[in-house]
Structure 1
Amino acid sequence: MIGSLALTQLQQIWWIIVSLVGALFIFMTFVQGGQTLLFTLPRTEDEKTLIINSLGRKWELTFTTLVLFGGALFAAFPLFYATSFGGAYWVWISILFTFVIQAVSYEYRKKPNNVLGARTYEVFLFVNGSLGLLLIGAAIGTFFTGSNFLLNDYNFVKWMHPLRGLEAAFNLFNVSLGVFLIFHARVLGSLYLANNLAHADLVSRAQRAAFINLLCALPFLLVVLGGLVTMDGYAVDPATGTVFVEAGKYLGNLFALPLNLVLLLAGLVLVVAGVVLAQFKGSTRGIWFSGLGTVLVVLALLFLAGFNETAFYPSKVDLQSSLTIFNASSSHYTLTAMTYIALAIPFVLAYIIYVWRSMDAGKMSLDDINKDGHNEVY
């Protein structure tokens, strides 16, 4: 059955898969959000260590999801991978650097004879959760605002800006999306800690922090949503493949694809519902409402960028160099083989859920990190 699918169908399937992985990654950034709370949420060193050990159980899943997202893009849409990672390399190197220092921090923060000191590694964790997400938001923003690249007849990439991708951080829409991701991650991090910790005072503070950070995120969310419904977009003529600027393209996509509008609105409602339940009902299960809402919102945004004859990686320098899911994808053979392999995804997800539930079978308390001095990991 899969082998009989047309190339365009496979391209659409793989944009959905890539979008889902990207959405799961944004949900997993609750780890980064929790890291940015290290200097405000805990009141004692033990509480800080408790938070770090709670997040330390999940940081590898976040990094793995990011790598999986990049790998899926490379396999399904290699021209995008070559263009963005090959041309805008400074922004991607900067992002990866923040994740490298995150890994180093969890490994060495509590090592004996730590020359740099624990606080240095805590600052590294904050950098990963702030600068890292800001740059990721700016990179995602270029799916809508465009980038400065030129492709020749042989698809050789020439980047037309000396900052090599970092210039995206000077665009209001891109920066607003990045700052929103920071505050949103702090919301998710607060809700995750409220769900994972057996510490009444910390849980109460985390629930309050989720509400405050949601309020901080709202202005930037309004800038992003306002930008999407008012900005010009990059449309593709399905007959000729010609890319052209279309007024109100992304607003038009919302109405042309009603499912997108449902996903976006339902996702926003669920994110807010998770915070409201935590703040006003004292619930510790808000992370699951806000987490599902996050996945739905990111899916809606990526569908806006890729579907309905839209260039998902537009070039501001040369419109005809813009990338679509059709001209940037792998061959029919490659996508077919990958789709057969993707049939194993439900089993992988089931295993991840099983491991997650096993790791979180009980809430983490101060006793878990202090008992005999053996259970403290990070």
Structure 2
Amino acid sequence: MFENLSHVTLQQYWWIIDSLLGSILVFLMFVQGGQTLIYRIGKSPMERNMVVNALGRKWEFTFTTLVTFGGAMFASFPLFYSTSFGGAYWVWMAILFCFIIQAVAYEFRSKPNNVWGAKTFEAFLFINGLLGTILIGTAVGTFFNGAEFTVNDFNQSRWATPYGGLEAVLNIHNLALGLTVFFLARVLGSLYFMNCIDDEQIYVRSKKQLLISGIPFLVFFLFFVIRLLLMDGFAIDPKTSIVSMESFKYLHNLIAMPLVLILFLAGVVGVLFGLGKSYLLEKYTKGIWFSGAGTILVVFSLFLLAGFNNTPFYPSLADLQSSLSIQNASSSHYTLSAMSYVSLMVPFVIAYIVWAWRAINRDNITVEEMDAGDHLY
């Protein structure tokens, strides 16, 4: 079946798969956002235990999705993987370090004879929540603003600066996306606490955080989107494959792909609806589902804007013609078609995640559960 599809169709198919994984990852980073709120939401040791254990039920979903996203990108677009992970290594090493200390924190925070104390591991969780979100958002920003690399005729890449990708943080547009992801994760984390922790004070403080984190989220998000639609973008001539700059490129992409526009607008409405309804109504706890689904749609749309309509998804600032697209960075037709059969398992994996989520969250976190202490993070 898949082997009969054209190479271009398979490349587009796998960009959609990778985009979906990336968008689910951003939603699941509510765990990271919640970790930055441990001391904002939990004012006593018991309340902090409730917050950490609520997040501890879900942190492995985020970690697994990050690994799956990276693996899918490696298999489907190996030239991007080797260029970015091999060149911008300081950024990716920092992200990896953030997730390593997160795993250590959840494993050892409540262990007997913990000589470092719970606060040390709570600091690890805060670092993961702060740097993990900002750095991943900044890295995705390079899909639109470009990165400093070159690729020769033998597909050998070289980073053009000695800073290993850290220079991306100096781009205000990249940083705006990083801060957007950070504050969005805090909003989603607050909504998650409202949904799964049965405690009046935690609910009230989480609701307050919706406004505190929601306002900067909207400011940075609007700045990123407005600048994205108005700036010059990278375009590929479909006949010559020459890369050049095009005015309002991403606005043109949005207009040329009305389905993507609809998904983007629906996602924005979903995020705002979940946030607004949760803040305005008393005892409303379902906002995480509207804002979470909206997050997935918005991020999915941004990935499609970056890769479709003759657009290089990883532009090169050092040499425009080294820019990577889904055409020149992908695996072979054989590899993509073989992988596509494996992708048929994705619906079953999603079904398992839904089942596991519901099973884990069957009962809300309570003080009584923490006192029982059967399994604490």
Alpha-carbon distance in 2 for matches of 1:158, 1:345 = 34
Residue equivalent to 1:54: 54
Residue equivalent to 1:3: 3
Alignment of 1:293-304 (within 5 A): 293-304=294-305
Q: Are 1:366 and 2:373 an aligned pair?
A: no
8 Å contact from structure 1 (residues 207, 275) kept in 2: no
Residue equivalent to 1:307: 308
Q: Are 1:73 and 2:73 an aligned pair?
A: yes
**What is the Cα deviation at residue 364 of structure 1?**
1.1
Alpha-carbon distance in 2 for matches of 1:50, 1:219 = 31
Residue equivalent to 2:42: 42
**What is the Cα deviation at residue 376 of structure 1?**
4.2
Residue equivalent to 2:376: 377
For 1:322-359, what per-residue CA distance to the aligned partner results, in whole angstroms no more than 9, with x for missing partners? 00000000011111011111111111111111111111
Residue equivalent to 2:324: 323
* SS of 2:38 mapped into structure 1: coil
Alpha-carbon distance in 1 for matches of 2:172, 2:295 = 22
Task: Letter of the 2:317 partner, please give it.
Answer: K
Q: Please give the TM-score of this superposition, normalised by the length of structure 2.
A: 0.98
**What is the Cα deviation at residue 211 of structure 1?**
2.8
**What is the Cα deviation at residue 104 of structure 1?**
0.5
8 Å contact from structure 1 (residues 91, 166) kept in 2: yes
Residue equivalent to 1:197: 197
* SS of 2:293 mapped into structure 1: helix
* SS of 2:245 mapped into structure 1: strand
Residue equivalent to 1:240: 240
* SS of 1:150 mapped into structure 2: strand
Superposed structure 1 runs of 4+ greater than 6 Å apart: none
Residue equivalent to 1:347: 348
**What is the Cα deviation at residue 169 of structure 1?**
0.6
For 1:210-260, what per-residue CA distance to the aligned partner results, in whole angstroms no more than 9, with x for missing partners? 232111211111210121111111101111211111111001101011112
Alpha-carbon distance in 2 for matches of 1:254, 1:143 = 16
Residue equivalent to 1:176: 176
Structure 1 residues without counterparts, runs of 5 or longer: none
Alpha-carbon distance in 1 for matches of 2:367, 2:123 = 22
* SS of 2:39 mapped into structure 1: coil
* SS of 1:98 mapped into structure 2: helix
Q: Are 1:87 and 2:87 an aligned pair?
A: yes
8 Å contact from structure 2 (residues 41, 51) kept in 1: no
Alpha-carbon distance in 1 for matches of 2:19, 2:101 = 26
8 Å contact from structure 1 (residues 23, 298) kept in 2: yes
Alignment of 1:88-237 (within 5 A): 88-237=88-237
Alpha-carbon distance in 2 for matches of 1:342, 1:17 = 8
Alpha-carbon distance in 2 for matches of 1:354, 1:112 = 32
**What is the Cα deviation at residue 180 of structure 1?**
1.0
For 1:35-78, what per-residue CA distance to the aligned partner results, in whole angstroms no more than 9, with x for missing partners? 00012111211000000001001001100000000000000000
For 1:194-222, what per-residue CA distance to the aligned partner results, in whole angstroms no more than 9, with x for missing partners? 10111122112212212321112111112
Task: Letter of the 1:377 partner, please give it.
Answer: L
Query: Mean alpha-carbon deviation: is it higher for 109-118 or for 26-35?
Result: 109-118
Task: Letter of the 1:246 partner, please give it.
Answer: E
Alignment of 1:239-258 (within 5 A): 239-258=239-258
Alignment of 1:1-40 (within 5 A): 1-40=1-40
Task: Letter of the 2:315 partner, please give it.
Answer: P
Alpha-carbon distance in 2 for matches of 1:89, 1:43 = 38
Q: Please give the TM-score of this superposition, normalised by the length of structure 1.
A: 0.98
Task: Letter of the 1:359 partner, please give it.
Answer: I
**What is the Cα deviation at residue 97 of structure 1?**
0.3
Residue equivalent to 2:286: 285
Residue equivalent to 1:271: 271
Alpha-carbon distance in 2 for matches of 1:160, 1:92 = 17
Task: Letter of the 1:195 partner, please give it.
Answer: N
* SS of 2:41 mapped into structure 1: coil
Alpha-carbon distance in 1 for matches of 2:337, 2:152 = 28
Task: Letter of the 1:286 partner, please give it.
Answer: G
Task: Letter of the 2:367 partner, please give it.
Answer: L
**What is the Cα deviation at residue 113 of structure 1?**
2.3
* SS of 2:244 mapped into structure 1: strand
Alpha-carbon distance in 2 for matches of 1:39, 1:172 = 29
Alpha-carbon distance in 1 for matches of 2:202, 2:132 = 26
8 Å contact from structure 2 (residues 270, 294) kept in 1: yes
8 Å contact from structure 2 (residues 137, 178) kept in 1: yes
8 Å contact from structure 2 (residues 195, 286) kept in 1: yes
